[in-house]
Amino acid sequence: MKVPILIPNIFNHPFTYDSDLKLKEGDYVIVPFGKSKITGVVWNEFEKKNNKNFTVKKVLRKLAIPSLKKNTIKFLNWFSEYNMIPKGMALKLLLLSSNAVEKISSEAYEQFKIDIKQNKIELSKDQKKCLKKMNVSNQKFRVHVLQGTTGSGKTMVYFEALKEIINEGFQGLILLPEIGLTGQFQNKFIEFFGFKPAVWHSGITKKNKEIIWSGIANDTIKVVIGARSSLFLPFKKLGLIIVDEEHDQSYKQDEGVTYHARDMAISRASFEDIPVNLITAVPSIETYDNVKKGKYSLSKLDQRYLNASLPNYEIINLNNTKLGSQSWIPKETIEKVKFHLEKNDQVLFFLNRRGFSPYVLCKKCFNSYSCPNCSINLVYHKKKQNLLCHYCGHKALLNRDCSKEGKCNFIFSGPGVERISEEVKKIFPTKQTTIFSSDTMNKKSSSKTLEKIINNEIQILIGTQLISKGFHFPNLNCIVVVDIDLSSQGHDLRGAEKNLQLYHQLSGRAGRTGKPATVYFQTYNLDTKMITDITNKDPDIFLQKELEIRRENNLPPFQRFIAIIITGSNETELEKEAYKFKSFIEGTVEGRVLGPVNAPIFRLKRMFRVRLLIRGRKSLKMQTSLANAVAKFKFPARIKLTVDVDPINFN
Ligand SMILES: [Zn+2]
Ligand SMILES: [Zn+2]
């Protein structure tokens, strides 16, 4: 018999094979492909155009793995169409390095065995109410949003919901935005359920990946906590998906195969016909819109755990003080911080800038340091003793001669966390301090540092946005935002939303155990809209206003955006091709084509970049019409095109 087999590569269609075996849709097989053997899956439809020039080859072997579910195949087909990714690449996301795992000894699964133990955790009245609302029509597809203040105990509510699903014999998936969180989160899970969940992200060992992949495929593993990619595991009996921190923009994968994991989780749930729960303190505009329209149901937890109250906000007017030339912390702030330290409160200085200084310039020759590969300044990292490009990783030494004579005489403009850390140490020499950024916290030693922070052995933290990501520091009751004016720079349609989310999450780190807490904003602009938005206790006021702005300006979620990034090493050729491409697709694509314009980061990794933006009605026609046009247009081999559906970053 003839069978269609999809193969994990760049082709958008299955290939036709011959087989004497009894094969059905979803079976994993080994087939010859070119000169090699490759894993494929029996697909649900044949290639549309019949290519008779190829000799039909034979399937070599069927793998002993429960077959992939029909609904999962439908989901992958839709995923490929929506995100404009070849079907073969969608399948590649599901397979394990293009392979499938056949046999694993049953002892290997032992470590993840389901063994729900009684816990002493008792849900509050409010939590119980939310759980009840969440569990309405739990047998089929529906989206429920659990909105609750940071620290209000949302996790316990969805753990309870998950427990019920597991007890009914189903599998569950919890998506988290940050891998760094899984450690603290895993402990919380074990405390509640009494057993170890399978944790899935790019950093786990190959052996563990094989165990989890096959355990999910044959239904011996019941719960996975994972990053974006766990959404593509071959679940046999998936019963519930939970997307924690659904507003978090790191759910959007920007590079390579681009997709939004939250949106894809909702669509997978819809194809599987199972419930999905979105968890957040402040919903994304998209989610908020769907709640307003009645598409998603909503429950709310307003009270913080143990009746802890949210932190107070205070504004420190930088116009009133004279700061020294290398100083960013005024007297007024020092007094406030002293007051907190005397009460044994932990203090955080927040600045969303890694390194020591973002801009290095020579006083004599006026040359600055910029990246040779990207149109971006190099950031000086004092600890590492080098200059670093945060986009391509280029490193340079701070060692240069002037064009005239002698060494350059450098000045450093603006602060990064390292610089603030130096100032803090000078002001509070007897206190223990640490920098909390991706440069310092992604190492093996970071769990020790975390422990010290939790035990208040470190009194002052200097942190970037990494610290806003769900950490629980019991003594942190004072946050100083070193320069909130920095956040209002940039022109991004989601700028206001991004800032609100960031500062809401950041504030949520403070006052978690019931002691009074304060967030201080240092600013020169007292009456910016941003400060009003952030300090407002009810985030719905912001969301409603922001939604109106989006509606008036025909921005997402009211229209769909598709970004096209065209890159090439020759600037003139790139521009010419971009205009040619634009006039080619205009008129055939469903939507308006804007651009081309130079990308904000015009040069990245030695390539020039221009952007086009297509905006139109929310319908799959937009993607299919564009895909047809792209397939017909021939770029020179030196020019590359990337498509990003529902873009978040416009760099
Ligand atoms: Zn660079
Ligand atoms: Zn110089």
403 pLDDT more than 80: no
| Dist. CA 352 → ligand 2 center (Å) | 29
Q: Which comes out higher in pLDDT, residue 466 or 290?
A: 290
Mean pLDDT over residues 278-288, rounded? 96
For 430-479, the pLDDT digits (tens) are 999 999 998 888 766 788 888 999 999 999 999 999 888 878 899 999 99
Q: How confident is the model at residue 147 (pLDDT cuts 50, 70, 90)?
A: very high
Alpha helices in 428-563 (DSSP H): 438-441, 446-454, 495-507, 529-535, 539-552
Identify which ligand lies nearest to the alpha carbon of 398.
Answer: 2
| Dist. CA 215 → ligand 1 center (Å) | 41
Asked if residues 260 and 295 have their Cβ atoms less than 8 Å apart, the reply is no
For 383-397, the pLDDT digits (tens) are 999 999 998 999 999
Torsion of CA 85, 89, 93, 97, to 10 degrees: -160
| Dist. CA 323 → ligand 1 center (Å) | 33
Does the predicted model carry a pTM greater than 0.75?
Answer: yes
Q: Which residues are bridge partners to 68 per DSSP?
A: none
What are residue 182's phi and psi, to 5 degrees?
-60, -30
Q: Which residues are bridge partners to 450 per DSSP?
A: none
Q: How confident is the model at residue 137 (pLDDT cuts 50, 70, 90)?
A: confident
For 489-527, the pLDDT digits (tens) are 666 788 889 989 999 899 988 988 888 999 999 999 887
What are residue 112's phi and psi, to 5 degrees?
-105, 15
51 pLDDT more than 80: no
| Dist. CA 353 → ligand 2 center (Å) | 25
Q: Which comes out higher in pLDDT, residue 186 or 276?
A: 276
| Dist. CA 43 → ligand 1 center (Å) | 42
Asked if residues 109 and 220 have their Cβ atoms less than 8 Å apart, the reply is yes
| Dist. CA 388 → ligand 1 center (Å) | 8
| Dist. CA 409 → ligand 2 center (Å) | 6
| Dist. CA 365 → ligand 2 center (Å) | 4
Q: Strand, coil or helix: what is 331?
A: helix
Asked if residues 331 and 340 have their Cβ atoms less than 8 Å apart, the reply is no
Dihedral sign, Cα of residue 106, residue 69, residue 260, residue 389: positive
C-beta atoms surrounding 578 within 10 Å: 23
C-beta atoms surrounding 644 within 10 Å: 23
Identify which ligand lies nearest to the alpha carbon of 408.
Answer: 2
Q: Strand, coil or helix: what is 458?
A: coil
| Cα–Cα distance for residue pair 201/176, rounded to 1 Å | 10
Asked if residues 230 and 153 have their Cβ atoms less than 8 Å apart, the reply is no
| Dist. CA 402 → ligand 1 center (Å) | 22
| Dist. CA 257 → ligand 1 center (Å) | 22
Dihedral sign, Cα of residue 56, residue 62, residue 65, residue 69: positive
| Dist. CA 177 → ligand 2 center (Å) | 44
